[in-house]
Structure 1
Amino acid sequence: MSLLDIETLKRTPAKTDPYEYLVVENFIRPDMFPGVVRDYPQMTTTGSVPPSELDVHGAFEQLLTELEGPAFRAALEEKFGLDLSSYPTMFTVRGHCHKGNGKIHTDTESKIITVLLYMNEKWEADGGRLRILRGPDDLNDYAEEVPPYGGTLLAFRRSENSWHGHEPFEGPRRAIQMNWVTSDKIVDKEQRRHRFSQRLKKLNPFAAD
């Protein structure tokens, strides 16, 4: 059985204010979510980690496979009016958040579509809730605040004004990031960078990113 609720994604309209994005709560089916949480890799550092550096198995491995599958890609192509078939994908996984994370940014130009999938079972903190921002200067000037738990999906088309960020939070914060990027060279470069960063973080697990 599929872990992902593709039909709800298909029915969810993309928003255009302040840029192109969509949010789908419970995108991982609620009856399947506990199994994915059970198999989520054990992580002890902050920062983004390539799946190749983690113990990927079980329902978590199935999740990554489905995210890279044709049904998910086709649904996002339809939402954003893009043909993504010629672009490579890149995954990173997070387990912990540093208080310096979440600063306002747009993502790099090499990213075409950014997908965030939140893997926390619940969220009570004020910080760590990603906001769709109207500009680069004010975390309180936002169009929407995304629930960072329960398999919530956020997908957006990267642009010069795709500002997002969150209030500071320090502690466990599980999230998967997936991107369609402009070339395989970008994937190789970014994965090498994240691997090097993680080796340094093993010496200081909660250093800032």
Structure 2
Amino acid sequence: MAPVNRELVKFFLCHRLAQRDFPTSPLRLQDTRDRTVVEKEKASPTAGNGLQDRDGVIPPRHGDDDVEAVKLALVESADEFELLFTQAFNDLATQLQITPDTAYSSFKSVMDEVFKDGVNWGRIVGLFVFGGVLCLECSEKDMSELVPRIADWMTMYLDENINEWIESEGGGWASFAQIFGQDAAAKARKARTSMKRWFLFGAVVLTGVLFLVCYVKRR
């Protein structure tokens, strides 16, 4: 597991829930559970084999300022993404008709469709935005117990399908902060154009997913 992925997912979902005045306690409770599990694992013979990080506890590390810069860039880019395409995401969440039994398959099918032709930062931002929309949808429909599970699914998808690209081709999360962060606003127009191109490409993919969902549901 890449610990920073877990940290970013929880931060982003808490931020989105708080924006709409929904409780973030499901994620906070999960943090408490994770710490309890880790303490038990530290006391077991298997401690030291890396399992203590598997439940999402973030070990102390240097570079916290870099992580904070990534968080700020993630919120800013997600806000811009949502301003452009929020209706499409809301329509998609409604069409999926999320229930406890269908939530995971719905999440994974959408993500597989979004990333089937490759990975870029715009699509990764789309993953966070869609996860946030799902959490809001679940909270509105009294299914807040799904919120920590969505956080798990987002983290798992990032770790298993996206992290290799982030580290190798994407230049790491630090590169994301440089491209999408506040300091990037003063950079050359080319960087801004690239950002919009990534967002637009993500929207085209998302629209295709929405039409696919509508088509399947009507059959």
Q: Could you say which TM-score interval applies, normalised by the shorter chain? A: 0.3 to 0.5
TM-score normalised per structure 2: 0.33
TM-score normalised per structure 1: 0.34
Q: Work out which of the two has the higher radius of gyration on C-alpha atoms and give 1 or 2.
A: 2
